[in-house]
Amino acid sequence: MTSTRADGAVAVGERVVRRVRSALDPMTTAPPSSARSDPGWLAVTVLPDVDLETLPPPLTDLGDEVEVRVRPAAGGKGTELRARLRDGGSAGPVRRLSGTDREARLRAALREAKQVIEVGEVLRVDPAPHGERPSTPAGLLLEAWTRAAPRGGVR
Amino acid sequence: MKAVTWRGVNEIGVEDVPEPTILNDHDMIVEVGLSATCGSDLHLMGGYIPAMRAGDVLGHEFMGTVAAVGPGVTKHRVGDRVVVVSFTSCGHCWYCRQELYSLCDNGNPNPGITEALWGQSIGGCFGYSHALGGWAGSHAPYIRVPYADQGAFTVPADVSDERALFASDAAPTGWTGAHQAGVGPGDVVAVWGGGGVGQMAARAAMIMGAEQVVVIDRYENRLDQVRTQIGAETLDYEQDDVPAALREITGGRGPDVCIEAVGMEAHSPGPQYLYDQAKQQLRLQTDRPTAVREAIYACRKGGSVFTLGVFAGLVDKFPLGAVMNKALTLRGAQQHGHRYVPEILERMSRGEVRTEHLATHVMSLDDGPAGYRMFKEKEDGCVRAVFHPHD
């Protein structure tokens, strides 16, 4: 009980000091909240305005598996389209970069949704003309990485 | 159809590949008229950009005739003579709207690779590894061009194929360097590298008002082209002490703008080259930044250094102290060609930009391996080997 009262008194004192200091110096207003107080979102920024009612299929196909939010991007850079798995799913960098983590489908869906919103279609590269591809270890590794590349990436 | 392909490190082949088809509404198929080798291809050839797979079709600098258009293409028709920017850019994302086209968010179907390397992906590039999209290249009779309304430009009737070809990559890359480096009236500009891109950067700097432009190389035939075709001054780095010469030229200040158009396989006389070569071969660094170091040391206080040559990853002994203490602006970019090609074609039409001299060796696709060998070894004064796919 004594401790709680003391803590309360300290908190009140801090608020008073902050208000006095902020009145004197505009640089010392209330401390900002953490820049990442609600983590776990994958995000892309799309240029035109979008809202939750007009999201395209690559993202809406994931249904209730994901939580989706939109908010304006800083400086008029468009709209931030943010999504995360409802039951979490963050993995280490190797699984993320290789597209083998639980967020892989969501990462690909966000990228495809961005293309549909901005360009109207999802860009395809295969089948691309190529010559003979021998089955070398390095070649197979690159092919596997290329297959994973649309789903893999950074957080 | 026949195509020039990457078969392995320092191994170029000619083989049959399927013809491309339209896969997206905004696609176009171009019948390739001319397709050039580029200095940056040598990094692929040498295995310094390790995302190449045997069988990949090379080539990213090309022009030709529209052979087919997708239903979403509105700017071009079958039969149009076009030059195509080497980068695939959507034209609609925030970066494209800022005219930073090589940074396009949507032009690379394999974004995971470059996100792993650089933190974020950039646009794609024809024939330039699976890291930049896995797009088939232009050393073939036909090529698929995605986002065709954005990347293809109609060539004016009075501009020859040989001139228009270099509006695909060399010229807009040079324009990107000079413009983004902030070249302005009265500047003294130094350009490291007298190949196609370096020559075009020098020409762009002159057009943007630079008072004096100096190009640095060691091959006399290139330096001669710089003097006679571009109209810039030259330094031979095997004969001249380049930083000292640049200080002398500029009254002790150093160039206002330094453009590096050499890239990750830079050469230099002296022990620094051996050191960088050893570290690169041992994979202790991916790139040899010799020319960038010299540009940073030579640049005037408060000046601008631009890395226009291609770099892939990590370098050693980078003079960050000079960048910080001399208050330099250091920038780099692949080409934002969509922004500059219309101006370049206009200037080509008026004779203000001439590029035919770069195509020192024109040959058929069957000569692909020989062309790359000549280009790499600079045999017979080769500045660029250019392929004519329908010969």
Residue A155 lies in a domain: no
Average pLDDT value over all residues in chain B: 96
* Shared domain check, A91 and A50: yes
Contact A146 B134 (CB under 8 A): yes
Q: Which of B16, B92, B108 is the best mutation test for A, with the most CBs of A within 10 A?
A: B92
* Shared domain check, A46 and A22: no
pLDDT at residue A92, rounded to an integer: 84
Residue A36 lies in a domain: no
* Shared domain check, A56 and A115: yes
* Shared domain check, A48 and A24: no
* Shared domain check, A111 and A46: yes
Query: Domain range spanning residue A19?
Result: 1-31
ipTM over 0.85: yes
* Shared domain check, A19 and A85: no
pLDDT in tens, B376-387: 999 999 999 999
* Shared domain check, A79 and A109: yes
Contact A146 B130 (CB under 8 A): yes
Give the pairing type, strands B11-16 and B28-36.
unpaired
Contact B109 A124 (CB under 8 A): yes
- Judge if the upstream peptide bond of residue B243 is cis by omega within 30 degrees of 0: no
| Strand order across the B56-57 sheet | B11-16, B2-8, B56-57
Is residue B111 within 8 angstroms of chain A, CB to CB?
Answer: yes
Q: What token pair was written down for B71?
A: 């239903």
* Shared domain check, A111 and A47: yes
Total count of domains within chain A: 2
Give the pairing type, strands B188-192 and B212-217.
parallel
Closest CA to B359 of B225, B162, B200: B162
Statement: the pTM of the whole predicted model exceeds 0.95: no
Q: How many CA atoms lie within 13 A of B25 on its CB side?
A: 8
Residue A78 lies in a domain: yes
Exposed / middle / buried, residue B244 (Cβ in 10 Å: 0-12, 13-18, 19+) = exposed
| Mean pLDDT on B65-72 | 98
* Shared domain check, A121 and A53: yes
- 3-state secondary structure (DSSP) of residue A79: strand
Position B229 confidence tier, pLDDT thresholds 50, 70, 90: very high
pLDDT in tens, A5-14: 555 555 555 5
Domains present along chain B, CATH in parentheses? 2-169+335-387 (3.90.180.10), 173-332 (3.40.50.720)
Residue in A111, A127, A132 closest to B55 by CB: A132
pLDDT at A133 > cutoff 70: yes
Contact A133 B54 (CB under 8 A): yes
* Shared domain check, A65 and A91: yes
* Shared domain check, A61 and A26: no
Residue in B18, B24, B51 closest to A124 by CB: B24
